[in-house]
């Protein structure tokens, strides 16, 4: 059950009102699977996530590169996606950088569009399905409306096919 809240705007002890209750938002149903063929992993010498973002943004600006789709970030790394031409350009510029470098080989992402990505057993079910097919993701990222799994590029098509078993027929 998902509760939607709205500020009442009234200065009182009760400053939040439940406006609407929506049942079923955490049900873990999957209406779609999508995938990115290539994602790159960039390592950044930084003291904290903000410093890493600043360095990455500065690198893109200095090299006239567009902002890439950010899939995951941490203190010292970012996982990004874009078309291959821009990813290749990024990698060429990283060769000249002292603070940023390619972290490891490119991989692929496979994502489940869903309801309840963080509040259901869906991520566990997805990992089980992939394991059954001999696919081991090296990372997964959850949001309320998606479960994204980073898999070896060679396993991408098999992962997409396997995860379609979780798609709910409507």
Report how far residue 14's alpha carbon sits from residue 7's, in angstroms, rounded to the nearest whole number. Answer: 9
Bridge partners, residue 69, by sequence: 81
Report how far residue 71's alpha carbon sits from residue 42's, in angstroms, rounded to the nearest whole number. Answer: 12
pLDDT in tens, 146-158: 899 999 999 999 9
pLDDT in tens, 64-118: 999 888 888 877 889 999 999 999 999 999 999 999 999 989 999 999 988 777 7
Write down the mean pLDDT value for the chain.
Answer: 82
DSSP 154: G
Report how far residue 127's alpha carbon sits from residue 147's, in angstroms, rounded to the nearest whole number. Answer: 10
Report how far residue 78's alpha carbon sits from residue 45's, in angstroms, rounded to the nearest whole number. Answer: 11
**Structural domains of the chain in order of their starting residue, each with its CATH number:** 38-102 (3.30.70), 107-166 (3.30.70.260)
pLDDT in tens, 114-138: 877 777 788 899 999 999 999 999 9
Its pTM stands at 0.74
Confidence label for 27 from pLDDT (cuts 50, 70 and 90): low
């Amino acid at each position: 059950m998902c509760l939607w809240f709205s500020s009442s705007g009234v200065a009182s002890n009760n400053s939040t009102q439940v406006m609407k209750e929506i049942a079923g938002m955490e049900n873990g149903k999957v209406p779609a699977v999508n995938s990115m063929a290539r994602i790159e992993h960039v390592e950044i010498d930084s003291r904290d996530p903000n410093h890493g973002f600043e360095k990455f943004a500065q690198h893109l600006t200095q090299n006239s590169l567009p902002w890439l789709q950010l899939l995951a970030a941490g203190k010292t790394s970012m996982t990004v996606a874009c078309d291959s031409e821009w990813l290749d350009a990024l990698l060429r510029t990283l060769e000249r950088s002292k603070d940023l470098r390619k972290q490891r080989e490119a991989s692929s992402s496979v994502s489940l569009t869903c309801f309840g990505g963080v509040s259901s057993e869906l991520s566990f079910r997805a990992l089980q399905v992939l394991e059954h097919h001999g696919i081991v993701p090296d990372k997964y990222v959850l949001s309320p409306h998606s479960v994204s799994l980073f898999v070896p590029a060679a396993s991408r098509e098999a992962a997409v096919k396997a995860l379609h078993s979780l798609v709910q027929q409507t």
